[in-house]
Structure 1
Amino acid sequence: MRRALAVVVAAAVLLAASVTARAEGLEHERAEALAELAVVAARSQDAAQRTDHLSGAIAQAEQDTADRAAVLAVRPAFLNELSTLAAALRNADGKVDTAVQLASARSAQETVRAERTDPDTVVAATATLRALTQKVGTEVAGWQAAQTAGPGGPPWSSSGPDGYARVRAALDRVGGGGVGLYESSSCAGGTAPACANSNGYIKYRADIAGWSEGRLNWAMAHELAHIYQFRVWRTLTSSNAYAAMFGGDPEFLANCMAVVRGFPGSVGCSGEQQTWASGIWVGVVG
């Protein structure tokens, strides 16, 4: 009986040890499974993040490509307008001052050259060029109309086209773009090198085409001043200030007006006289 009981107890101990070992083995397997699951989950999360990143990068690249294509699609219209404006500027050479329009065109060109994603920027620059072309065309048309508004016949004779172009450039330089210009020996019977007509144009004697640039600029600024005087002539000649400050002398006033424009002659003007004379350029008689 005791022997049998001992056998039973030993068997129970062995069974308990076996169960404990099995439980420990299962726990170890469970821990390994959980660790492997964590690794798999981490790899899955990393793969998902990589997928999201790649998807975003692809979407951005596709958007960039679409934007670039949209910009390229509107560039030909800009280039066409640029070509049209260049032709207008060439036609305006020697007729009107186009420095402002040229600077604006260059700015628009740099803007388009740098633009990569926004087609509206290119469209706006194209509209700017179109407006500049129209403005140049209008100013040239005004200049051409002014050329036929004075006496009949060609605008030059003995000074020739080169001499005329030089005097024309001086008149444009001092702000007389669009004012008619003609060679004539009729100014004060030929004794005056140039004169202004109340109808709005200027005549010059052929020899002044050979004057120095500074002297020629002054002469054209002086005659252009007379054109502006004619525009307010009645008010000007009735002004007490004009009589007191300039002795009612339009030549003296024209000299001071030329000084205001930055083209002084041989006659000096006080600061007060210059200030008063500047008003005539904008149609104001003090």
Structure 2
Amino acid sequence: MLTRRLVAVIAVGAVMVASGVIGRAVALDAERADVIAELRQLSQATNTAQMRTDHLTGLIEIAEHDTADRDAVLAVRPAFLDEITAFGAVVTGSGGAVDTSTHMASALSAQQTVLAEHDDPAVVVAATATVHALTEKIGEEVATWQASQSAGPGGPAWSSSGPDGYARVRAALDTVGGAGVGLYESASCAGGTAPACANSNGYIKYRADIADWGSERLNWAMAHELAHIYQFRVWGSLTSAGAYHSLFGGDPEFLANCMAVVRGYPGSVGCDTDQQAWASGIWVGVVR
């Protein structure tokens, strides 16, 4: 009887122990699940924080790179400003002696490029070199023009016509397209019987009295003489061209008159359409 009771007690105890073990296991599983869930949350938070950190680091690196680029561009801009200032000075100093419109358009384009550039200093350096070259080009053209205004092959640029008379004839020659062509006063054209003449070396001489001519007549005279300068440039081809003889009788004076007509400065001798069309080619170096 006692043995049965002892067995029963032991069995009940075993059941209670087993129940306690199972309950503890269940509790441990629940705790483990909570820990795992918490770890996952921490891991996700850590990953999110790392991604945010990486993103911010990338933004900082980009900002630092952009700042470095801008600093590099700003460092070379003063040199460009110096060149633009020098360019403006040489344009102003030219006094309209040479045509600077094309050079100014190029300089403006370079300036707009520099204003729009924020990253690459090489772009600014290239634009600076461009403006420097433009400045030198204008300086060379002005120097050439000034040389053409100085003493001619026979002496001073003028004598009896005076500086005002010379300036008037010079202005007429420039007006008809002869800027840069040498000009000086001389009484040697056809022994003084011709009011002006052109030399095959590329300059024009004028008799003092034509400085008092009316503007229309003076412009025509300079256009006529300038035409001879262009004839000399193609002289061999010109004199061997059949059309030169058939249309103008081989007369360079007649051709010069027609060339002046083409430029808009007609003289007393008229030219027909065919003659004008052929004469126009000489202005651009074309002998048909």
Q: TM-score, normalised by structure 2?
A: 0.80
Counterpart CA distance in 2 for 1:182 and 1:126 is 39
Counterpart CA distance in 1 for 2:25 and 2:214 is 117
Instruction: Structure 1: give runs of 5+ residues left out of the alignment.
Output: none
Is residue 225–residue 258 contact of structure 1 (8 Å, CA) maintained in 2?
Answer: yes
Is residue 245–residue 273 contact of structure 1 (8 Å, CA) maintained in 2?
Answer: yes
- Do the aligned partners of residues 159 and 45 (structure 1) sit closer, same or farther apart at CA in structure 2, a change above 3 Å counting? same
Counterpart CA distance in 2 for 1:255 and 1:50 is 84
Instruction: Structure 2: give runs of 5+ residues left out of the alignment.
Output: none
Specify the alignment match of 2:121 in structure 1. Answer: 119
Specify the alignment match of 2:39 in structure 1. Answer: 37
Residue 216 of structure 1: CA displacement? Answer: 7.9
Residue 166 of structure 1: CA displacement? Answer: 4.9
Specify the alignment match of 1:58 in structure 2. Answer: 60
Q: Which moved more, 1:234-243 or 1:112-121?
A: 234-243
Counterpart CA distance in 2 for 1:79 and 1:209 is 47
Residue 116 of structure 1: CA displacement? Answer: 0.6
Q: Which moved more, 1:240-249 or 1:61-70?
A: 240-249
Q: Which moved more, 1:195-204 or 1:15-24?
A: 195-204
Counterpart CA distance in 2 for 1:129 and 1:61 is 32
Q: 2:175 aligns with which of 149, 165, 170?
A: 170
SS at match of 1:46: helix
SS at match of 1:248: coil
SS at match of 2:180: coil
Residue 122 of structure 1: CA displacement? Answer: 0.8
- Do the aligned partners of residues 82 and 269 (structure 1) sit closer, same or farther apart at CA in structure 2, a change above 3 Å counting? farther
What is the percent sequence identity of the aligned residues? 56
Is residue 173–residue 223 contact of structure 2 (8 Å, CA) maintained in 1?
Answer: no
Letter of the 2:105 counterpart: A
- Do the aligned partners of residues 16 and 256 (structure 1) sit closer, same or farther apart at CA in structure 2, a change above 3 Å counting? farther
SS at match of 1:117: coil
Letter of the 1:197 counterpart: A
Say which one has the larger Rg: 2
Residue 26 of structure 1: CA displacement? Answer: 0.7
Letter of the 2:249 counterpart: G
Give the count of matched residue pairs: 276
Counterpart CA distance in 1 for 2:141 and 2:46 is 72
Q: TM-score, normalised by structure 1?
A: 0.80
Matches within 5 A, 1:1-286: 1-150=3-152, 152-154=156-158, 157-159=163-165, 163=168, 166-167=171-172, 169-171=174-176, 174=177, 176-181=178-183, 195-198=196-199, 199-202=201-204, 203=206, 205-206=210-211, 210-211=215-216, 221-233=223-235, 235-258=237-260, 263=264, 265=266, 267=270, 269-270=272-273, 273=275, 276-286=278-288
> Over residues 194-232 of structure 1, what are the superposed CA-to-partner deviations in whole Å (9 max), with x where a residue is unaligned?
744214334493356755xxx987765544222111333
Residue 152 of structure 1: CA displacement? Answer: 1.8
Counterpart CA distance in 1 for 2:76 and 2:105 is 22
Counterpart CA distance in 2 for 1:164 and 1:252 is 22
Is residue 196–residue 224 contact of structure 1 (8 Å, CA) maintained in 2?
Answer: no
- Do the aligned partners of residues 18 and 219 (structure 1) sit closer, same or farther apart at CA in structure 2, a change above 3 Å counting? farther
CA RMSD of aligned residues (A): 3.3
Is residue 96–residue 139 contact of structure 1 (8 Å, CA) maintained in 2?
Answer: yes
Is residue 230–residue 283 contact of structure 2 (8 Å, CA) maintained in 1?
Answer: yes
Is residue 225–residue 256 contact of structure 2 (8 Å, CA) maintained in 1?
Answer: yes
